[in-house]
Amino acid sequence: MFENILGHENEINILSNIISSNKISHSYLFSGPSGIGKLMVAKEFAKSILNVDNLNSCPDYIYICKKEDKKNILVEQIRENIVDNIYIAPAIRKYESICY
């Protein structure tokens, strides 16, 4: 599941234990300096809990990124992608995964 990721052994061990114990929390925060692989680890974790190979084809996966001309993700983006649709149950899997 995390075979293509170098480094992050401690984080990957923690996430692997979470998956194997099936005690998945409602949210996780991946923080650290830019460019160290947080998004890559988060996406692999999402693939694992959603049990898919391609996140782009999974309706239960939402990726939110900042707009090119903005410094941060806008509140309106969160409202559009999460708050307005929070009542919708996952389409295929038990979980929904949101990365931003």
98 contact partners, CB below 8 Å, separation of at least 6: 61, 62, 63, 64, 81, 82
For residues 21-41, give the mean pLDDT: 88
Kindly tell me if the per-residue pLDDT of 100 is higher than 60.
Answer: no
Higher pLDDT, 100 or 44: 44
In a domain, 94, yes or no: yes
Give the chain's end-to-end CA distance (angstroms, integer). Answer: 20
Number of domains in the chain: 1
Residue 26's pLDDT is 82
Residue 58's pLDDT is 85
In a domain, 3, yes or no: no
**Residue-number span of the structural domain to which 27 is assigned:** 9-99
93: pLDDT confidence band, cut at 50, 70 and 90? low
pTM of the complete model: 0.78
